[in-house]
Amino acid sequence: MPSATLTFVFAIERGTPAPLTRHRTKAAVPFGGKYRVIDFTLANCLHSGLRQVLVLTQYKSHSLHKHLRDAWSLFNAELGEFITAVPPQMRDGSGWYRGVLDALRQNRYLIERSRAEQVLLLDGGVVYRMDYAELLRFHREERAAVTCAVRPAGGARTVCDVMLDCDAADRISGLHPRPPELPSERAAELSAGGGFDAPMGVYAVDRQLLLAELDALAAAEADAAPAASAESPPGAGADLATHLLPRLLDRERVCAYRFGGERGRVKPDGYWSDLGSTDDYFRANMALLEAAPPLDLYQPDWNILTYQGQYPPARTVPGAKSGNEGIFVNSMLAAGTVIRGGGVSHSVLYPLVQVDDGAIVDEAILFEGVKVGEGAQIRRCICDKDVVIGPGKQIGFERAADEARFEVSPDGIVVIAKGQQA
């Protein structure tokens, strides 16, 4: 089944969290100490035996293209295997991708020349683990025209634009938009009743059906979202559900594959996050530090691959002036990181981070190349790549002072922009 599948990974939108996507597309945002968001989708493809993967790119794609080259040049082209980035080719006009279905329409020739029986459509901007081979097996067993992977949703922090109606036979019978703010009584009712089914950005579609419907689907998408930004069209998850499913529900067999069940070879942790805001992104990273994290990065038979630079090991050393030992508590430290007499707690540090003598880092996410100066104190911060925190600076303690210089989330998370001297 994997060899009969052509896979498209959508990485065309800017996405969220907005402060971290000014210089990169969402799929290229760092996550979990050394990964990029797209690594989770591509690792799922690798472990599921999928070897024909096209990554559709557009918004500020250089960082993502470089990452795909460095981390994912794994397959053998002579055997027909590939992970290939496909920016807009402008084969039938001069326009950019206007959405995920328009991106497929513009690359119709790639589908037509493929011998695949089904096409797998994946959102490259979400974090989860899933055995796609099992979903494809379910798709064939049910003789479905379209199979949509669904996840349970509900609760105050649910991020979802679409609610699906699924019957006992796992057929999707309808969908409707989820109000931006559910009334508290309705939210409590949904949570008490197990919530509702939501799409998770994974679709298996019969190739011939997709080709037959593609022009009409792309046109409907364009008509429904005329104001969408050309450089950052809607995300793949809700966009596909909204425009792909309604046209087919009444005349095709559209099935729901339930995420987090016992089917498949990956441990069913049920974790899924679209990192929809700065606060969601911060919480998702901090959750990795829990004693029993909701997403287990250490599962040996479903490891997440990425590019790792040839850096020296992370280490702690005594401070040059104080002589105090560098320490870290319940934190992730990537290669090349050096703590020189400073202290790090409950934090995620990417490669080549430096924490100098007497500096304190608490509940922070420091991207590659961040430098924290002598005696500086930072807490509840996200420092983008190559940020420099000056000696003695304090960030994350006085909200008004932080808001005057940086972006601060509703939950008080300070975001320091890439390369900023703070």
- Enumerate the CATH 2.160.10.10 domain ranges in the chain, comma separated: 315-416
Report which of 163, 138, 137 is spatially closest to residue 150, judged by C-alpha positions. 163
Cβ atoms of 304 and 297 within 8 Å: the answer is yes
Place of tokens 């969601």: 280
What superfamily does domain 315-416 belong to in CATH? Hexapeptide repeat proteins (2.160.10.10)
Say which residue the tokens 């959508």 belong to: 10
d(Cα 360, Cα 376) in Å, to the nearest integer?
Answer: 6
Q: Indicate the pairing of strand 332-333 with strand 348-349.
A: parallel
pLDDT-based confidence at 421, cuts 50/70/90?
very high
- Asked whether the beta carbons of 339 and 324 are under 8 A apart, the reply is no
**What is the CB neighbour count within 10 angstroms for residue 314?**
18
Average pLDDT over residues 408-418: 97
Question: Is the pLDDT at 90 greater than 50, yes or no?
Answer: yes
Per the listing, tokens 């019969």 go with 206
Residue 96 in this model has a pLDDT that exceeds 50? yes
Domain with CATH 3.90.550.10 in the chain: 2-302
396 and 402 Cβ atoms separated by less than 8 Å: yes
Q: What is the mean pLDDT of the chain?
A: 89
CATH 3.20.20.10 is right for the domain spanning 2-302: no
Tens digits of residue pLDDT in 291-329: 999 998 988 889 999 999 999 999 999 999 999 999 999
Task: Tell me, rounded to whole angstroms, the distance of Cα 355 from its chain centroid.
Answer: 28
Phi, psi of 404 (to 5 degrees): -70, -20
The pLDDT tens digits of the residues spanning 186-234 come to 544 544 445 788 999 999 999 999 999 998 888 888 777 655 555 555 6
